[in-house]
């Protein structure tokens, strides 16, 4: 993993995937919906580790929503990803991925599939998919866009060496994550 400490900017990894960010006054909040309870048990401590209060709840459609509290410390992230109030999210020009960001993305939306390992994307975020794909490529993880009907769009990383590179970048599997779900 990285030589620096985890920080609020790492939540860009959630935004690269299905995460959302909204502003309210001088604060912002990051949220995302997941289907597997283990993801909540990984994400909540990871977010708390970055100094942000977080909660989770069940949604009406029996999924789980994880969200930070509104915080001023999230405003730089919101300013970078939201050009104007109510606009769709968009990565900043200098967007990049690193181990911490990828770890959060894997925890939120990573999954093995028969052809490799898929990092799911936000279904409504098609305009940013290529930018995120380029950021993956820049860290040695070329990928292909996949759109399975049941899981939604994602970026598939294929090949033993590339998946091993992803595993190296995201670090040790958290105890709450099933062994089969974490890249190795």
Residue 20 or residue 152, greater confidence: 20
pLDDT at position 147 is 83
Asked if 32 and 19 count as a contact pair (C-beta separation under 8 A), the reply is: yes
d(CA 117, CA 112): 4
pLDDT over 80 (residue 2): no
d(CA 8, CA 111): 24
Q: Where are the extended beta strands (E) located within 53-149? A: 54-58, 64-68, 110-113, 116-120, 144-146
d(CA 135, CA 63): 29
pLDDT at position 92 is 94
Asked if 59 and 65 count as a contact pair (C-beta separation under 8 A), the reply is: yes
**Average pLDDT along the chain:** 94
Please give the domain boundaries of the chain with CATH numbers for all domains: 8-181 (3.10.28.10)
Mean pLDDT of 119-127: 94
Instruction: Quote the pTM value.
Output: 0.95
pLDDT digits (tens, 9 = 90+) for 45-90: 999 999 999 999 999 998 999 999 999 999 999 999 998 777 789 9
pLDDT at position 150 is 64
């Amino acid at each position: 993993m990285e030589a620096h400490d985890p920080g609020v900017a790492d939540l860009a990894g959630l935004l690269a995937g299905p995460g959302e960010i909204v502003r309210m006054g001088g604060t912002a909040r990051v949220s995302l919906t997941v289907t597997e309870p283990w993801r909540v048990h990984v994400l909540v401590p990871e977010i708390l580790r970055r100094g942000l209060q977080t909660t989770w709840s069940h949604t009406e459609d029996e999924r789980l929503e994880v969200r930070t509290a509104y915080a001023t410390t999230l405003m730089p992230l919101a300013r970078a990803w939201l050009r104007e109030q109510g606009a769709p999210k968009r990565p900043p020009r200098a967007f990049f991925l690193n181990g911490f960001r990828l770890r959060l993305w894997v925890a939120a939306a990573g999954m093995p599939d028969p052809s490799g390992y898929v990092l799911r994307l936000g279904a409504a975020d098609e305009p940013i998919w290529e930018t995120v794909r380029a950021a993956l490529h820049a860290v040695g993880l070329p990928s292909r866009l996949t759109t399975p009907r049941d899981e939604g769009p994602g970026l598939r990383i294929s090949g033993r060496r590339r998946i091993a590179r992803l595993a190296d970048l995201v670090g040790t599997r958290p105890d709450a994550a099933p062994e089969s779900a974490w890249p190795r």
